[in-house]
Amino acid sequence: MNKPQSWEARADAYSLYGFTDLPSVASRGAVVLTHGEGPYVVDVNGRRYLDANSGLWNMVAGFDHKGLAEAAKAQYDRFPGYHAFFGRLSDQTVMLSEKLVEVSPFERGKVFYTNSGSEANDTMVKMLWFLHASEGKPERRKILTRWNAYHGVTVISASMTGKPYNEVFGLPLPGFIHLTCPHYWRYGTEGETEEQFTARLARELEDTILREGPDTIAGFFAEPVQGAGGVIPPSQGYFQAVLPILRKYGIPMIADEVITGFGRTGNTWGCLTYDFMPDAIISSKNLTAGLFPMGAVILGPDLTDRLQAAIDRIEEFPHGFTASGHPVGCAIALKAIDVVMNEGLAENVKRLAPRLEAGLRAIMDRSDHIGELRGVGFMWALEAVRDKATKTPFDSSLSVSERIANACTDLGLICRPLGQSIVLCPPFILTEAQMDEIFDKLERALKKVFAEVA
């Protein structure tokens, strides 16, 4: 048997692709990358691409930040690996926990580390099940999320994810309940104002709680902006409408800030952008600026005290991961937080977000087939439609968003297709000139594809 020779053929022969449109790979080949330069990545053929998806939302400082690489190297030289079991953990882990509580919206709290956002959401569910059972309410196990939400790929976090593709795994598990996605443009009814839409979703939440039984619900999980659902900000007043209902029935509210945390929305946390206070925060991605696989559960005061009481009763928390609180990951995270907050990256997002929105809105206004622009900060989506007035989508067989993304790739721009949308979530180091490059290449790709399918 002859071994494949090209990088693309070798990738295809030996790799399984996750969340990948296989017909595109079959016809075009994989893109095999060798290195990065600022917000650009370079493939094995020397081709350069502006990555307007920040890798997978997370490479916010670009692909060659020397300070982050040096922090990793220094920690590898000093103490290259350890766990956080048995009351033994690295000094970097302690310092990062202090820093995360300090920059959180909470007055005080505690942190538990995982290797990903999926595992952090999974861990949070187990924490809720554990503390409710310890408080004499073992029946409080149901989890509320929303359709189009994305919370991860473990069995529990995939059950929380409101996406139909999880049906191929026989998920969700029983007890995971999905409420209406808070996307007013798509799910508002004729004649319904945005305020009325929000009120309807709040009524749906309370009706669901009463139908299921308040004493059976363990928690409510929500992304401040639904990321992998297609960059869907909440409808006006959404969190202000649902929080009082959750408080009324004693249901903890967990903010999944895997994507929105550490500056993506223009504030350190998405919950600050949308002015609500959760009971816990799930963090990952930007936490290490993409340089190390890490997730964190950041508990606010109430859940900290309740979980600690449950732990004290049995004298341990029987949960953890070998690489939880890895010293190199923690050292990178400490540096990443410093880079985002103190090297001008967070300020750059605030300064350029209005320009990003204005440029994308101009593209939408010039197109007959972009029905909606939605987003905040440095996360935006353009929704492709066959008919703008009726919001009628293109037939799914046309794979319009995939075609647009491929056309962008051909022009040296990486963006992400999600459903009928094209998603842009650039690194925080983006310059005005690079933003103009995004506008130019995106609009050229849109015109090309729409000329073919309209």
CA–CA separation, 240 vs 256, rounded Å? 17
pLDDT at 454: 83
pLDDT at 3: 80
CB neighbour list of residue 305: distance below 8 Å, 6 or more residues apart = none
Intervals of the chain under pLDDT 50: none
CA–CA separation, 274 vs 271, rounded Å? 5
31-64+344-453 and 69-342 have identical folds:
no
Kindly list the distances between the CA atom of residue 195 and the CA atoms of 17, 271, 272, 273, 277, in Å, as whole numbers in the listed order. 42, 20, 21, 19, 21
| Residues 194, 236 contacting (CB under 8 angstroms) | yes
> 1: buried, middle or exposed (CB in 10 Å: 19+, 13-18, 0-12)?
exposed
pLDDT at 387: 95
Task: Please tell me the CATH code under which domain 31-64+344-453 is placed.
Answer: 3.90.1150.10
Task: Please tell me the CATH code under which domain 69-342 is placed.
Answer: 3.40.640.10
pLDDT at 90: 98
Q: What pairs with residue 299 in β-bridges?
A: 110, 280
SS3 letters across the chain = CCCCCCHHHHHHHHCCCCCCCHHHHHHHCCCCEEEEECCEEEECCCCEEEECCHHHHCCCCCCCCHHHHHHHHHHHHHCCCCCCCCCCCCHHHHHHHHHHHHHCCCCCCEEEEECCHHHHHHHHHHHHHHHHHHCCCCCCCEEEEEECCCCCCCHHHHHHCECHHHHHHCCCCCCEEEECCCCHHHHCCCCCCHHHHHHHHHHHHHHHHHHHCHHHEEEEEECCCECCCCCECCCCCHHHHHHHHHHHCCCCEEEECCCCCCCCCCCCCHHHHCCCCCCEEEECHHHHCCCCCCEEEEECHHHHHHHHHHHHHHCCCCCCCCCCCCHHHHHHHHHHHHHHHHCCHHHHHHHHHHHHHHHHHHHHHHCCCEEEEEEECCEEEEEECCECCCCECCCHHHCHHHHHHHHHHHCCEECEEECCEEEECCCCCCCHHHHHHHHHHHHHHHHHHHHHHC
pLDDT at 1: 63
Domain ranges of the chain: 31-64+344-453, 69-342
pLDDT at 2: 77
